[in-house]
A and B are shown apart, each in its own frame.
Chain A
Amino acid sequence: MTVTVINIILLCLLVITALAINKQRNLFAATMLTGIYSLICASLFVCLDAVDVAFTEAAVGAGIATILFLGTLALTGFEEKTRVKISIPALLLVSITGGLLIYGIQDMPAFGDANTPVQTYLSGKYIDESATEIGVPNLVTSVLASYRGYDTFGETTVIFTAGIGVLMLLGRGRKNRKGLLDEDDA
């Protein structure tokens, strides 16, 4: 019961933070709110038994993402130029999409149910056999590094590709400070 109450409080805090981010025109403040948002998210993951995900979210979401955003803002300016107006078409689109999604989640099994496919299909095998097959007490580690090792391999490929992409985009900018428009003129 306590877990459910904490869960609900944290989810409400997440919604409030997200709304504050939407309203905030100062991008520095918005970035800080994103950091807070990630930290609340990490607390929620601890509450939902996903400790490995929680510390990854705290390190990556609240740490690295905030640094990346601040680095970008230092180059591009801290203030949003246009004031946010409530857009009726956007609101309409978002409500329709949200309504469809809520219609979709009616079929979802109840939160915490033990008889869902998620709990019965593969995780039982992992829980029973990981200790003898892999020998690592943390199941998330054994699944990540062994049972689904190809996923992790794909993930490192994605990081590598993104790293090369960032270096190509920014490295070119440094060499030719004037940018794309001047290249076109020349």
Chain B
Amino acid sequence: MGINILGAFNYWVVVVLMMIGLYIVITHNNLVKKLIGINIFQTSIFILFISMGKISGGTAPIITGTNTVYSSPLPHVLILTAIVVGISTTALGLAIVIRLYHAFGTVEDDEIQQEIE
């Protein structure tokens, strides 16, 4: 049982981090803070993928000539792509926040809502 909990510890932490990110997105009114929450959310998914690629006693997937065990390179590649896509969406989100600030003079969600009504 002890080994079982240790074996799934990474996944538990992934869920906890994901939920902290979601909680930040739900509860905070500030749009920049919401984007920080989204960042935490997506980083937890990166950790999930990289954890699945890890193999006990393995090394980084760079061929050195000696016969060793390598962790799977495929999740690493997928997450490299995801990191870059993540920063693109963050940049776009921040641009929208700046645009909203120009239009409404605030980046607080509730104040923008009031302004619209």
Contact = CB atoms under 8 A, between A and B. Distances in A.
A41 B46 contact: yes
B90 A90 contact: no
A111 B29 CA distance: 37
Given A94-B22, A112-B56, A11 B87 contact: no
A14 B15 CA distance: 12
B26 interface: yes
A93 B39 CA distance: 20
A48 B76 CA distance: 10
Contacts of B59: 49
Contacts of B70: 49, 123, 127, 139
Given A50-B76, A68-B90, A111 B103 contact: no
Given A60-B87, A144-B77, 18 more contacts: A4-B6, A11-B13, A50-B71, A53-B50, A69-B94, A73-B32, A82-B29, A111-B7, A111-B10, A112-B7, A118-B72, A119-B55, A123-B72, A131-B63, A139-B61, A144-B80, A179-B99, A181-B104
A4 B13 CA distance: 14
Nearest to B96: A169
A97 B87 contact: no
Interface of A: 4, 7-8, 11-12, 14-15, 18-19, 21-22, 27, 30-31, 34, 37-38, 41, 44-45, 48-53, 56-57, 60-61, 64-65, 68-69, 71-73, 75-77, 80-82, 84-85, 87, 90-91, 93-95, 97-98, 101-102, 105-106, 108, 110-114, 116, 118-119, 122-123, 126-127, 130-131, 137-140, 143-144, 148, 151-152, 154-155, 158-159, 161-163, 165-166, 169-170, 172-173, 177, 179-181
14 contacts: A7-B10, A48-B53, A48-B71, A111-B6, A111-B7, A118-B74, A118-B75, A123-B73, A127-B61, A140-B62, A140-B77, A143-B73, A165-B95, A179-B103
Nearest to A98: B19
Contacts of A130: 63
Contacts of A50: 50, 53, 60, 71, 75-76, 79
A7 B6 CA distance: 11
A30 B24 CA distance: 12
A-B residue pairs, 5 tightest by C-beta: A110-B7, A112-B56, A162-B88, A123-B72, A180-B103
B65 to A, nearest CB: 9
Contacts of A166: 91-92, 95
A56 B56 CA distance: 23
Contacts of A48: 50-51, 53-54, 71
A56 to B, nearest CB: 5
A163 to B, nearest CB: 8
